[in-house]
Amino acid sequence: MFEIENTLSFNTDKIIDGTEYDYVTRTSLNQGILCTTGFVNSENINPAGTWSLGLLQMDFFYREKPWYAGQFVRKIIPKIEINKASRLFFSTILNKQKQRLLSVLVRDVDKIFRDTKIKLPTKCGQIDFDFMTSFVAELEARRVAELNNYLLVTGLKDYVLTAEEEKALSIYKSGNIDFKGYEFEDIFDKIKQGRRLKKDDQLAGKIPFVMAGVTNTGVANYISNPIAKFPGNSITIDIFGNTFYRNYAFGAGDDTGVYWSETINYEKECMLYFATTMAKAIKGKFSYGKKLRSSQSLKFKMLLPVRKGKIDFEFMKNYISAIQKLVIKDVVLYADSKIEATKSIVSKKWL
């Protein structure tokens, strides 16, 4: 079904301005895309219609256009023609292999991948691409309907910016704002490391259990073990520096640090701002060879906006709220267009 091959890599200092090619690294963030670039050379280009495999979290991502690769990235080449509607189906099947690939040494990944057997729907002895297409379309329709209901219930359908949000964006774009560095421990009076809980000891339940990684924002399982739970309105940073805001109570493994405050009830938007600037403060500093522990981060500094010598919480709140609305606008418009397309198809079906 597939071949796996090495990719030729080059350092980021060779990246040039442009948007024609994606520069793909082993990260799981942004579907592995570190940035986009113009033409560098023909030797390193990987063709569109393939999948990339990052050898960090073993994530497979389909590549719509030609791409360049950083270190530790494999190229997955289909041996059969796969139509556009079936790519999501195959992407899901490929990512089902993640746990198996994560359990072996990197040097053995190619062999394990080639030896892996997958199950596909068939009809009359042939791969049933029509089933894949209709199955994916049905799932997409369901998810879009659920998304639309969620947007309605949460009030996120409203993406019109308020005057305060417009002002915050204007201030940021103008650069007319002062920043000051604050140590992590200045902002949070509680900085704790999670507790080790082996997979075999995890009991099924409803408590989200957070471990290192970006898939599903690090939620690896749902458990019922009587371990210390961390409160909602917290931020987690794992040993690799992956940072997420949590608005729910959860448990965490010993590869994850948790940051929160018991004396100050920070608003959600401010916590989201904290998470972003904290992630920026530690970006690129930690990896398998140098893992982060929360106790090491107490003196790390995050940059925060200040006004008259004090943290400008109002600016942070309005700025993040504005960004959320700008992002959610595209989601709302996408959901609306998909729903209208579905209605059109259904109405034509009964004509």
Considering the domain architecture, whether residues 95 and 8 belong to the same structural domain is answered as: yes
Q: Report yes or no on 169 lying in a domain.
A: no
Residue 237 zone, left/alpha/beta (φ > 0; ψ -120 to 50; rest): beta
How many residues belong to the chain? 351
Handedness of CA 204, 207, 212, 218 (dihedral sign): positive
Handedness of CA 113, 117, 120, 124 (dihedral sign): positive
Considering the domain architecture, whether residues 62 and 33 belong to the same structural domain is answered as: yes
Q: Report yes or no on 115 lying in a domain.
A: yes
Considering the domain architecture, whether residues 43 and 72 belong to the same structural domain is answered as: yes
% of the chain beyond a pLDDT of 90: 72
pLDDT digits (tens, 9 = 90+) for 231-287: 999 999 999 999 999 999 999 999 999 999 999 999 999 999 999 999 999 998 988
Q: CATH number of the domain at 187, please.
A: 3.90.220.20
CA distances to 136, 211, 232, 274 from 252, in Å: 33, 6, 12, 20
Considering the domain architecture, whether residues 335 and 306 belong to the same structural domain is answered as: no
Considering the domain architecture, whether residues 150 and 26 belong to the same structural domain is answered as: no
Q: Report yes or no on 246 lying in a domain.
A: yes
In the predicted structure, residue 184 carries a pLDDT above the cut 90: yes
Q: Report yes or no on 66 lying in a domain.
A: yes
Q: Report yes or no on 129 lying in a domain.
A: no
The one-character DSSP state at 194 is -
Other Cβ atoms less than 10 A from the Cβ of 340: the count is 10
Considering the domain architecture, whether residues 62 and 143 belong to the same structural domain is answered as: no
Considering the domain architecture, whether residues 208 and 94 belong to the same structural domain is answered as: no
Query: What is the structure's pLDDT at 284?
Result: 86
Per-residue pLDDT band for 343 (boundaries 50, 70, 90) equals: low
Of residues 282, 312, 305, 298, the one with CA closest to residue 187: 298
Considering the domain architecture, whether residues 293 and 211 belong to the same structural domain is answered as: yes
Given a contact cutoff of 8 angstroms between Cβ atoms, the answer to whether 96 and 34 are in contact is no
Other Cβ atoms less than 10 A from the Cβ of 325: the count is 17
Query: What is the structure's pLDDT at 132?
Result: 92
Query: What is the structure's pLDDT at 223?
Result: 94
Instruction: Tell me how far apart the alpha carbons of residues 16 and 108 are, in angstroms, rounded to a whole number.
Output: 34
Domain residue limits at 190? 178-311
- What are the structure tokens assigned to 173, written together? 């774009």
Considering the domain architecture, whether residues 106 and 45 belong to the same structural domain is answered as: yes
- What are the structure tokens assigned to 144, written together? 């879009």
Per-residue pLDDT band for 83 (boundaries 50, 70, 90) equals: confident
> What number is the average pLDDT over the span 174-188?
95
Query: What is the structure's pLDDT at 125?
Result: 92
Instruction: Tell me how far apart the alpha carbons of residues 345 and 239 are, in angstroms, rounded to a whole number.
Output: 48
Considering the domain architecture, whether residues 213 and 298 belong to the same structural domain is answered as: yes
Given a contact cutoff of 8 angstroms between Cβ atoms, the answer to whether 201 and 225 are in contact is yes
* Total domain count, the chain: 3
Q: Report yes or no on 128 lying in a domain.
A: no
How high does pLDDT run on average in the chain? 90
Q: Report yes or no on 167 lying in a domain.
A: no
Query: What is the structure's pLDDT at 139?
Result: 84
Q: Report yes or no on 83 lying in a domain.
A: yes
The pTM assigned to this predicted structure is 0.62
Given a contact cutoff of 8 angstroms between Cβ atoms, the answer to whether 207 and 251 are in contact is yes
Considering the domain architecture, whether residues 200 and 304 belong to the same structural domain is answered as: yes
Tell me if residue 52 falls in helix, strand or coil.
Answer: strand
The one-character DSSP state at 317 is H
Tell me if residue 202 falls in helix, strand or coil.
Answer: coil
Considering the domain architecture, whether residues 302 and 328 belong to the same structural domain is answered as: no
> What number is the average pLDDT over the span 176-200?
94
In the predicted structure, residue 103 carries a pLDDT above the cut 80: yes
